[in-house]
Structure 1
Amino acid sequence: MGGFFIGSIIGILLAWLSYREKYVEDILKPFITTLKAIPVASFVIILLIWAGNKILSLYVSTLVVIPVLYLNTLSGLKATDPKLLEMAEVFRMPMLRKLCYIYLPSLYPFWNSSLQAALGMAWKSGVAAEVIGQPLKSVGNSLYQSKIYLETADLFAWTITIILTAMILEKLILKVLKMCIKV
């Protein structure tokens, strides 16, 4: 979850910067394209070498989530109705009000779908990082141990736990998003 939240915040902030300053979008384009293209296993192995296995899943989840939120947020910002923005300028609407009444409603459908996708990807990549990195007392380590010792019941139990946790958190995050934006 930490990687999901950190990646979401970074992705959203970078998208906002790219929306405000075109050169930032141009600078970030190759990095975002690279982040989208690198396989999770490569991230895991590279980060395992550089950072060790303690918070490997945090790093991997963060790097997987950033491009999803960046691209969807940037698309949502670019899709904001220019007539509404022009009206806001004419009436000298403060930035906070523009954010609340123009940008956030425009971003809602983009965030709704991207948060669902990013959360699923964060869980899968985080667990995959734990399976490869083997930090003690982690879900990934438990999955790996159940594979090694052919404990099918444990494997299914951990898999179901991951699925249920992801589903509950997804519903919670989408409910909070809906409450915050008041669509």
Structure 2
Amino acid sequence: MMRSTSRGNPLWNKVWPLLFWLAVWQLGSVAVGQEILLASPAAVSKALGRLAATGLFWRSIASSFGRISLGFLLAMVFGGALAAASHRFPLLETLVRPLMTGIKSTPVASFVILALVWIKARNLSVFIAFLMAFPIAYTNLLEGLSAVDSKLLEMAKVFRVGKLRQLLYLYLPQLWPFLVSAASLSLGLSWKSGVAAEVIGLPRDSIGEQLYQAKIFLATDELFAWTLVVILISMAVEKLLLVLLRWAGRRIGGDV
């Protein structure tokens, strides 16, 4: 009889690793002895509370959230559309393959600097978030389309099932796990690359601008606080999105 590898209270199993690394962080801060080099958890908490009391804090979050989310959603839509076209026309898939490899291999900083020549700073994070998520959405959804059972499609043709019904009852249920995987993989990358683009482009009232200002004024506690904000928002949005996608997947019969 096999024993479960997870023991004890599941909540405690999630909490104690966090407490452990907070303790390591605190010990590191004490060992360094300079808050300007490594701010303590307490100092970062105070800075976060101080920032949260300002309107600029919430405007910056709303601004960055809107731009990065737009880039992510555009990537999912256009990635899905291109995946469908590539699945329908193999020659297009062959033509697009090197482009996707190039996008995935090129450093984000290179794209940001090149894009600044053509795109205004306030729209830069939209473009970069889109560009980083696009290949992931395309690759996963193309793989999902290729995994659709060909025998079911042949049967649908024999019985003259309409295109809309094929989409709803054949494609979507089998494609949905690949969509969930694409969203999970690309959302965090969209946030990291989008904020990095803001740090370089410095759009007004953005998280990237606040990170840059904290660095310029050597406000290490605020730098850590804004970094924590990015991590928490990214995690929360990803969890919420996955919950919604899995709920929708159960409704349409997708196995997620």
TM-score, structure 1 normalization: 0.94
Contact preservation (8 Å) 1:12, 1:69: yes
Distance (Å, rounded) in 2 between the aligned partners of 1:88 and 1:75: 21
Match of 1:136 in 2: 204
Match of 2:188 in 1: 120
1:176, distance to aligned residue in structure 2 (A) = 2.5
> Number of residue pairs matched?
183
Match of 2:102 in 1: 34
1:14 to 61, 82, 86: 82
TM-score, structure 2 normalization: 0.68
Distance (Å, rounded) in 2 between the aligned partners of 1:152 and 1:93: 62
- Which structure: greater helix fraction? 1
String of CA shifts for 1:34-89, please: whole Å, max 9, x gaps: 21111100010000122131210001111111100000000000011112212211
Q: Which stretch of the first structure deviates more once superposed, 57-66 or 162-171?
A: 162-171
Distance (Å, rounded) in 1 between the aligned partners of 2:120 and 2:238: 29
Give ranges in structure 1 of 5+ residues lacking alignment.
none
Distance (Å, rounded) in 1 between the aligned partners of 2:154 and 2:239: 35
Distance (Å, rounded) in 2 between the aligned partners of 1:72 and 1:152: 39
Matched, 1:104 2:155: no
Give ranges in structure 2 of 5+ residues lacking alignment.
1-68
2:123 to 49, 55, 73: 55
Match of 1:176 in 2: 244
Contact preservation (8 Å) 1:100, 1:181: no
Distance (Å, rounded) in 1 between the aligned partners of 2:130 and 2:247: 25
Distance (Å, rounded) in 2 between the aligned partners of 1:154 and 1:141: 12
Contact preservation (8 Å) 1:18, 1:74: yes
1:30, distance to aligned residue in structure 2 (A) = 2.0
> Percent identity, aligned pairs only?
48
3-state SS of paired residue (1:92): coil
Distance (Å, rounded) in 2 between the aligned partners of 1:153 and 1:100: 50
1:27, distance to aligned residue in structure 2 (A) = 2.1
Residue identity matched to 2:147 = A
Match of 2:226 in 1: 158
String of CA shifts for 1:117-160, please: whole Å, max 9, x gaps: 10011000000000111112110111111112121221122112
Contact preservation (8 Å) 1:15, 1:71: yes
3-state SS of paired residue (1:49): coil
Moved over 6 A (4+): none
Q: CA RMSD in A?
A: 1.3
1:97, distance to aligned residue in structure 2 (A) = 1.6
Residue identity matched to 2:75 = G
